[in-house]
C-alpha cells in the first residue's frame, strides 16, 4: 500500500485541508497529514471529479475529428473523470460489439472513464429499436440510450424504448427536435433570423417533443432525460413535469448558458450548433432553471469537427462546438461569479447528478473517507484567454477562442492517479 497527500486544498471553497489517498481511495482528511509523496494543492478549490453525460468522441469512424484518446485527454484537462460517449459514430454504437469497443478504448488510454451511450434505434434511423438489452448486459454496462443528433420522433417507438429500458434501470436521453418543424433550419427563429435571411428554428420544435415525452414517461413509469434544453418554454415544461412527480431530468450546455443568437450576425459557422443559440431571454431562463434545480445538470455536448466541416459557408457547415476544456470556466462565469449558485451546486450539477442519472459507480461521490479519489483541483481566481490551437482535441471549433474566461484546472485525479498536474496532461506514471 502506498499513500500520497494532496496538501492544502479547500473542499467546495471551504477551509484548507490535506487529503490522504491510498490505493485510489480517500483514507484520511485533516491537516498536517504525511505520506510517501506530497502534491501541493496551492490552497485551491477541490471538487469531486466532473462527469459529462453528453460527449462526442467520434471513434470509431471519424478519427479525423476526435478519438477516444484525444477526447478523454481534453476531458481530463477540463476536470472530468468520466464521460459518456454518444452513439452517433460510424458504425453507430447500436450493438454490444461497438459499445464494448468504445469502453475498452477508454480503459486502454486511461485519462478518464469512458461510458458508452447506446443508440435507441438501429443506425439512428428511427425505425426499429436497437439491441438495448444486449448493450445493457455487455461489458460496457450501458444504461443511457440516445439517438442524439436525431430525435426519436415516432411516439410509438419512443414509448417502446421507455418501456424496454425499465427492465435494467436505463434511461432514454432524447434529442428534442421535431423534424418537420426544423426542415432546413439554420438558427433560432425570431426577428434576427428574418433579418439575416436564415431559416428559423422555432422553440416549439423542442418544446413539443419534451411535452410529448414527459407524458409518455409518466404513462409507462420510466426515466426520461432531456438533452441540451435551450428555451424558456422547455424549462417551464420540465418544471411542470417535475411538479407532477414525473421521472424526468434535463441538461443544459455551457454554450447555452453564455452565448446568444446575436453572435450569428457574423455568419461565422463556429456559432452553428444544434439546438441553436437562443435569445437572451432563453439564456436567462436556462440559468434560472439550473439555479433552482429544474435543470439537473450541465453537460458539454462536446462536438468536435475537422476544419473543412466548419470553415465553410454557413448553410453547409456542421452543427457543433467543443466544450470539455472550458465547461467549468463557463459555469463559473455565468453561474458562480454572478451569485446564482455556489460550488456545492456546481459539484451536484457537474458530478453527482450526471453520475446518478447515468448510473455510474465510483463517480460523483462525496469528498469523504472511503470514497474513490476522483478529484479536480481548480483555481477560480485565475484568468486565461482561450487558444484554439492549445486544445487537446483534434478539432479546433471552440466558440470561446480569444475570450478571457475565469478559472483553471490545476490537477485531475482518477482513482488517485494523476491525469493532469499543474494544468498539463500527466502521463509519466501513476501517483497512488
**Numbered residues of the known binding site:** 54, 56-58, 88, 148, 175, 228, 274, 301, 305, 319-320
Q: Are residues 377 and 286 in the same domain?
A: no
Specify if 263 maps to a domain. Answer: yes
Domain-ending residue, one of 312, 334, 358 = 358
Specify if 363 maps to a domain. Answer: no
Q: Are residues 326 and 382 in the same domain?
A: no
Domain count, the chain: 2
State whether the Cα torsion 301-305-310-315 is positive or negative: negative
Specify if 396 maps to a domain. Answer: yes
Specify if 96 maps to a domain. Answer: yes
Q: Are residues 222 and 262 in the same domain?
A: yes
Q: Identify the CATH number of the domain in which residue 160 sits.
A: 3.20.20.140
Catalytic residues: 301
More confident residue, 427 or 318: 318
Q: Are residues 184 and 236 in the same domain?
A: yes
Domain-ending residue, one of 325, 358, 391 = 358
Q: What is the pTM of this model?
A: 0.97
**Numbered residues of the known binding site for substrate:** 56-58, 88, 274, 305, 319-320
pLDDT at position 428 = 44
Q: Are residues 336 and 247 in the same domain?
A: yes
Q: Identify the CATH number of the domain in which residue 412 sits.
A: 2.30.40.10
Q: Are residues 213 and 248 in the same domain?
A: yes
Query: Residue 387: which domain range?
Result: 3-46+371-425
Domain-ending residue, one of 309, 333, 358 = 358
- Per-residue three-class SS string for the chain: CCEEEEEEEEECCCCCEEEEEECCEEEEEECCCCCCEEEEEEEEEEEECEEEEEECCCCCCCCCCCCHHHHHHHHHHCCEEEEEECCCCCCCCCCHHHHHHHHHHHHHHCCCEEEECECCEHHHCCCCECCHHHHHCCCCCCCEECCCCCCCCCHHHHHHHHHHHHHHCCEEEECCCCHHHHCCCCEECCHHHHHHCCCEECHHHHHHHHHHHHHHHHHHCCCEEECCCCCHHHHHHHHHHHHCCCCEEEEECHHHHHCCHHHHHHCCHHHCCCCCCCCHHHHHHHHHHHHHCCCCEECCCECCCCHHHHCCCHHHCCCCECCCCCHHHHHHHHHHCCCCCCHHHHHHHHHHHHHHHHCCCCCCCCCCCCCECCEEEEEEEEEEECCHHHCCCCCCCCCCCCCEEEEEEEEEEECCEEEEECCEECCCCCCC
**pLDDT band, residue 427 (cuts 50/70/90):** low
Kindly report, residue by residue over 142-196, the tens digit of the pLDDT.
999 999 999 999 999 999 999 999 999 999 999 999 999 999 999 999 999 999 9
Q: Are residues 103 and 204 in the same domain?
A: yes
Q: In the predicted model, what is the mean pLDDT of the chain?
A: 97
**pLDDT band, residue 432 (cuts 50/70/90):** very low
Q: Are residues 91 and 35 in the same domain?
A: no
Q: Are residues 126 and 21 in the same domain?
A: no
Q: Are residues 302 and 321 in the same domain?
A: yes
Specify if 174 maps to a domain. Answer: yes
**pLDDT band, residue 3 (cuts 50/70/90):** confident
Q: Are residues 39 and 56 in the same domain?
A: no
Specify if 163 maps to a domain. Answer: yes
Kindly report, residue by residue over 10-57, the tens digit of the pLDDT.
999 999 999 999 999 999 999 999 988 999 999 999 999 999 999 999
Question: What residues are paired with 333 via a beta bridge?
Answer: none
Q: Are residues 80 and 114 in the same domain?
A: yes
**Numbered residues of the known binding site for Zn(2+):** 54, 56, 148, 175, 228, 301
pLDDT at position 429 = 41
Kindly report, residue by residue over 282-338, the tens digit of the pLDDT.
999 999 999 999 999 999 999 999 999 999 999 999 999 999 999 999 999 999 999
Specify if 365 maps to a domain. Answer: no
Specify if 139 maps to a domain. Answer: yes
Amino acid at each position: 500500500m502506498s499513500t500520497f497527500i494532496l496538501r492544502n486544498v479547500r473542499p467546495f471553497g471551504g477551509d484548507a485541508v490535506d487529503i490522504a489517498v491510498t490505493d485510489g481511495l480517500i483514507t484520511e482528511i485533516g491537516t498536517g497529514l504525511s505520506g510517501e509523496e506530497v502534491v501541493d494543492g496551492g490552497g485551491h478549490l477541490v471538487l469531486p471529479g466532473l462527469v459529462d453525460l453528453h460527449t462526442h468522441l467520434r471513434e470509431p469512424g471519424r478519427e479525423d475529428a476526435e478519438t477516444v484518446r484525444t477526447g478523454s485527454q481534453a476531458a481530463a484537462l477540463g476536470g472530468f473523470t468520466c464521460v459518456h460517449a454518444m452513439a452517433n459514430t460510424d458504425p453507430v454504437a447500436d450493438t454490444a460489439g461497438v459499445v464494448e469497443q468504445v469502453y475498452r478504448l477508454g480503459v486502454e488510454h486511461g485519462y478518464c472513464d469512458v461510458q458508452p451511450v447506446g443508440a435507441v434505434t438501429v443506425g439512428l434511423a428511427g425505425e426499429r429499436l436497437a439491441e438495448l438489452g444486449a448493450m445493457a448486459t455487455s461489458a460496457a454496462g450501458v444504461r443511457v440510450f440516445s439517438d442524439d443528433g436525431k430525435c426519436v420522433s415516432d411516439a410509438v417507438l419512443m414509448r417502446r424504448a421507455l418501456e424496454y429500458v425499465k427492465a435494467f434501470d436505463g434511461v432514454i436521453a432524447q434529442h428534442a427536435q421535431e423534424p418537420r418543424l426544423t426542415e432546413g433550419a439554420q438558427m433560432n427563429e425570431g426577428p434576427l433570423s428574418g433579418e439575416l435571411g436564415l431559416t428559423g428554428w422555432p422553440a416549439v420544435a423542442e418544446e413539443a417533443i419534451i411535452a410529448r415525452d414527459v407524458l409518455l414517461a409518466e404513462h409507462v413509469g420510466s426515466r426520461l432525460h432531456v438533452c441540451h434544453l435551450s428555451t424558456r418554454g422547455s424549462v417551464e415544461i420540465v418544471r411542470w413535469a417535475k411538479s407532477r412527480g414525473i421521472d424526468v431530468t434535463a441538461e443544459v450546455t455551457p454554450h447555452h448558458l453564455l452565448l446568444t443568437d446575436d453572435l450569428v450576425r457574423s455568419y461565422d459557422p463556429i456559432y452553428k450548433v444544434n439546438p441553436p443559440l437562443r435569445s437572451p431571454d432563453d439564456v436567462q431562463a436556462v440559468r434560472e432553471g439550473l439555479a433552482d434545480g429544474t435543470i439537473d445538470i450541465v453537460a458539454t455536448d462536446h462536438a468536435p469537427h475537422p476544419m473543412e466541416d466548419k470553415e465553410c459557408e454557413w448553410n453547409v457547415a456542421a452543427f457543433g462546438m467543443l466544450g470539455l476544456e472550458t465547461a467549468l470556466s463557463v459555469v463559473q462565469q455565468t453561474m458562480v461569479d454572478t451569485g446564482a449558485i455556489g460550488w456545492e451546486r456546481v459539484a451536484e450539477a457537474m458530478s453527482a447528478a450526471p453520475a446518478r442519472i447515468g448510473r455510474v459507480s465510483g463517480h460523483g461521490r462525496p469528498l469523504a473517507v472511503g470514497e474513490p479519489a476522483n478529484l479536480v483541483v481548480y483555481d477560480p481566481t485565475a484568468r486565461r484567454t482561450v487558444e484554439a490551437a492549445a486544445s487537446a482535441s483534434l478539432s479546433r471549433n471552440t466558440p470561446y477562442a480569444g475570450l478571457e474566461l475565469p478559472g483553471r484546472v490545476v490537477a485531475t485525479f482518477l482513482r488517485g492517479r494523476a491525469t493532469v498536474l499543474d494544468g498539463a496532461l500527466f502521463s509519466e506514471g501513476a501517483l497512488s
